[in-house]
Structure 1
């Protein structure tokens, strides 16, 4: 049996505060941040303990997916490639080639597709694979994968159980905001986020839920809204006293969850008299790992590999 490669791609994160400037510069496409911008980002990392756990979690996710795939009778090898930090996507593709892999499934650890998010990973992977003669099958979206929805619904249900009055708590499904120009591009990102949130709401019989955005970039162009922080006053004015935030667009604990929700949004909610409960992130929990393995297996079958 031939070993099939899996190129698992993720955003990347600095592993210590000394790496923050290089990371920020890479996100800004080579433009170094101002001293004020850098200081603000460092402050955020310091607020969550000095470093994000994202890299270690992503490594564990890759290792766990490989174990599940091979435990199901397959022969897979998972390679991790990061968009903004080492190991880079092209480096992961080169490693596959060195190991004799000639076919691979490429998947981004982000369930919802956008030309400005998931596609940018594929744009790095495809030319690297073509240059080396490696056949690459890219997964665009997996937001309606049944076991992913199961895992998401279980976490919303768990968070509601932590509320004093679950039936009167507002659930807000959030995702990373993107530039608003995607609305003119016919991009499916917004629709897909609604589809997965609606699917979870239907499974749980939710009657109080809505959608919002978070962690918008600090650029001059408009970004998708409303932002979570802007929504909370309205939630309070509508008479709610508890709110569950489900960051469905993220699959691991990192700065946008640990700071933007757990610190910034929670403090804002408290000032408004709201109790904010956040759903657990997927991380390397077995239910989520099985969902990702299902996505990869389906992609393999569709390719006839």
Structure 2
């Protein structure tokens, strides 16, 4: 039986020409609402003209391939090319009959990892491919250590004293509708477990959680939203904020625009000092953790 590892990620437009097809796939529409494309283009222009996420994913795949001789490593995106369906066809043509599927999103969510696995199951439903999910890598000690290391490194670079009375670590996660949680989505529980594990590795400091990048689906979303939360912290005397983008393993629009530009402007307007720690991206410590995780389960 020939095995293969399939890395799956959200995807993103690498240039301005890819934004419209990406958004159409994301929103499952034949046509975008008036003005939406222009608004999204402005955001991507502000971070250099495209998302770095696909390139980071390719680096992760290539670095993993250097550490893992077998099984081979494939990469697919949920909302961009190469799509999950495209790569499944490629694997089948290569003689693969068992897929070890790993989402590069740390936590399970209806809009991320769960959607990737659902798509994979749909496109393989009529095939003989055997599927195995490699889930839960956010619980690995090595992953929690690398997140803690990035927090401490950022604090040192910014001369930020984490134990100061006017300083707070805010773990930020992508917002999702409350209805998903009500239906059994484990997203919040997994993030809370991840945060708790990281905090244990840090010196005593003030910490909290908030949610960012709220979408347009009607109804209640998770709370608190990060802007509202920072204003509440300000009322308690907090002036220095380090945001930890805990639900993102890689930089993309939600870190580079929503946090580094939009939230930074918000904090400047409200006399708050903001910095953020870096996600794992394709750094060597992340690659080593993923390689060990895959080897132990393949």
* TM-score for the superposition, normalised by structure 1: 0.92
Contact 2:162 2:205 in 1 (8 A): no
- Which of 253, 263, 266 aligns to 2:264? It is 266
1:37 positional shift: 1.7
Contact 2:169 2:205 in 1 (8 A): no
Give matches, 1:1-305, under 5 Å.
4-30=3-29, 32-70=31-69, 75-161=70-156, 162-168=158-164, 169-300=167-298
State the alpha-carbon separation in 1 of the partners of residues 5 and 105 from structure 2: 15
Contact 1:178 1:224 in 2 (8 A): yes
Gaps (5+ residues) in structure 1?
301-305
1:105 is paired with a residue whose SS is strand
1:4 positional shift: 2.7
State the alpha-carbon separation in 2 of the partners of residues 49 and 237 from structure 1: 35
Contact 1:3 1:77 in 2 (8 A): no
1:167 is paired with a residue whose SS is coil
1:189 positional shift: 0.8
1:85 positional shift: 0.8
1:298 positional shift: 2.9
1:57 is paired with a residue whose SS is helix
Aligned length: 295
1:166 is paired with a residue whose SS is coil
Q: Which moved more, 1:217-226 or 1:98-107?
A: 217-226
Contact 1:119 1:140 in 2 (8 A): no
State the alpha-carbon separation in 2 of the partners of residues 32 and 299 from structure 1: 42
State the alpha-carbon separation in 2 of the partners of residues 209 and 31 from structure 1: 43
Runs of 4+ in structure 1 off by over 4 angstroms are none
* TM-score for the superposition, normalised by structure 2: 0.94
State the alpha-carbon separation in 1 of the partners of residues 91 and 175 from structure 2: 33
CA RMSD of aligned residues (A): 1.6
1:123 positional shift: 1.0
State the alpha-carbon separation in 2 of the partners of residues 81 and 241 from structure 1: 42
State the alpha-carbon separation in 2 of the partners of residues 298 and 114 from structure 1: 24
Contact 2:177 2:217 in 1 (8 A): no
Q: Which moved more, 1:192-201 or 1:137-146?
A: 137-146
1:50 positional shift: 1.2
